[in-house]
Structure 1
Amino acid sequence: MLLSNTFVLGASAGVFNSGDILFTIAMFAILLFLVKKLAWGPLMGIMKQREEHIANEIESAEQSRAEAKKLLEEQRNLLKEARTEAQILIENAKKQGDLQREEIITLARTEADRMKESAKLEIEQQKEQAVSAIRDQVASLSVLIASKVIEKELSVEDQEKLINEYIQEGGR
C-alpha cells in the first residue's frame, strides 16, 4: 500500500485545480517568451548568418571558377596566338635567310666574274708586254745582224755561225 501513496504525492486525489493549470500555462508562456528572446532569436540569427556566409562562399567559389575558366580560355588563346606569331617569325626568318643566301651567292659570282676579268686583263697586259719586249729584242737583233752583215760579207758558214751567236746572245 505504501506504493500507491507515493505516486499521488504531488497531486490531489482526483481534484481539478484550475489555479495550478493557469500558473503552469503562465510559467510555460513566460519560459517560452524568454527562450524565444534569449536563446531562440540569437540562435536563429547565428544560423541565418552562417547560412548567408555559406551562400556567399558558394557564390564566391562559383565566381572564382568562372573567372578561372575565363582566364584559362584567354591563356589558351594567347598561347595559340604566340604559336602562330612564332611560326610566322620562323617563316619570315627562313625567307630572309634564303634572300640573303641568294644575295651572297650573287655577290660571290659577281666578284668571281670581276676577278676573272681582272685576271684576263692582267694576262693580256703581260702578254702585250712580253710581245713588245720580244719585238724590241728582234728589232735590236735585226739591226745588229744587219750592221754586222754590212761590215763584212760572210760566207754561208759564217752567216750561220753569226746567227747562232746572236740567237744565243738574245736568249740571255
Structure 2
Amino acid sequence: MSLHWESTVYAIIAFGVLYWLLSKYAFGPLLGIMEKRRLLVLEQMNSAEASRKQAEQQLEEQKLALQQARKEAYDIIEQAKLTSVKQADEIVQTAKSEANRVKENAVQDITSEKNKAIAALRSEVSGMSVQIASKIIEKQIDEKSQEQLVDQYLKEVGSK
C-alpha cells in the first residue's frame, strides 16, 4: 500500500475548510440553541425549586392554621362546657330558691290554719265550760252526777 501525500494534503485542506464552514454556520447557531436550552432548563429547575419552597411554606402555614383552628375549637368547646355548667347551677339554685319559697309559704299556711283551729277550739271549749258551769249551778248535783255530766260533755266535744 502506498501512501499518497497529495491526497492526504487535499483531505486535510478539505477537512479544514469543512471545519471552518461548520464552525461559522453550524456550530455557532447549534451552540447558541444548546446554550438557550441549557438556560431554559436551568430556569425551569430554579422555578421548580422556588415552587417547591413556596409549597413547603404554604404547607407549614396550613399546618399552623389547622392547629390554630383546633385550638379555637377546643376553647369554644371548653367555654360551652363552662357556660352549660354555670347555667345548670343557676337553674338548680333557682329551683332551690323556689322550693324554699313554696315551703315557707306552706309552713306559714299551716301555722295560720293551726292558729285558727286553736282559736276555734278555745272558743268552743270556753263556751262548753260556760255551759257546764251553768248546768252545774242549775242542778246543784252531787259529785257522781257532776262527773257523769262532765264526761258526757267531753264525749260531745270529742265527737265534734
Q: TM-score, normalised by structure 2?
A: 0.73
Shift of 1:46: 4.4
Alignment-mate amino acid for residue 145 of structure 2: D
Question: What are the within-5 Å matches in structure 2 for residues 4-153 of structure 1?
Answer: 4=1, 7=2, 11=4, 21=10, 25=13, 29=17, 32-33=20-21, 37=25, 40=27, 43-153=30-140
| CA distances 1:101-135 after superposition (whole Å, capped 9, x unpaired) | 44234323322331331122022012112202312
From the superposition, tell whether residues 36 and 80 of structure 1 become closer, same or farther in structure 2 (CA, over 3 Å): same
Most deviating of 46-55 and 116-125: 46-55
Q: Which runs of 5+ in 1 are unaligned?
A: none
Deviation at 1:98, TM superposition (A): 4.7
Q: For residue 107 of structure 1, what is the amino acid of its counterpart?
A: T
Amino acid at match of 1:165: Q
Alignment deviations for residues 83-107 of structure 1 (CA, whole Å, 9 cap, x no partner): 4434543443354345334423432
SS of match in other structure, 2:95: helix
Alignment counterpart, residue 169 of structure 1, candidates 139, 152, 156:
156
Q: Structure 2 CA distance, aligned partners of 1:159 and 1:165?
A: 10
CA displacement at 1:157 relative to structure 2: 1.1
Distance (whole Å) between structure 1 residues aligned to residue 53 and residue 19 of structure 2: 50
Report the TM-score, using the length of structure 1 for normalisation: 0.69
Structure 2 unmatched ranges of 5 or more = none
Letter in 1 for 2:13: I
- The amino acid that maps onto 1:57 is Q
Partner SS state of residue 141, structure 2: coil
Aligned letter for 2:17? Answer: A
Identity among equivalent positions (%) equals 39
Return the alpha-carbon distance in structure 1 between the equivalents of residues 132 and 39 of structure 2: 135
**Aligned partners of 2:131 and 2:42: how far apart in 1?**
130
Q: 1-side partners of 2:15 and 2:59: how far apart? A: 64
User: 1-side partners of 2:32 and 2:108: how far apart?
Assistant: 110
Tell me: CA distance 1:55–1:91, structure 2 relative to 1, closer, same or farther (3 Å): same
Decide which structure has greater helix share: 2
CA distance in structure 2 between the partners assigned to 1:121 and 1:33 by the alignment: 127
Output one character per residue of 1:20-66: Cα deviation in whole Å (capped at 9) or x when no partner. Answer: 84x973685257526853x5456435423431331122112111121
Larger relative contact order (Cα-Cα within 8 Å, sequence gap ≥ 6): 1
C-alpha RMSD over aligned residues: 3.3
Deviation at 1:165, TM superposition (A): 0.6
Count of residues in correspondence between the two structures = 158
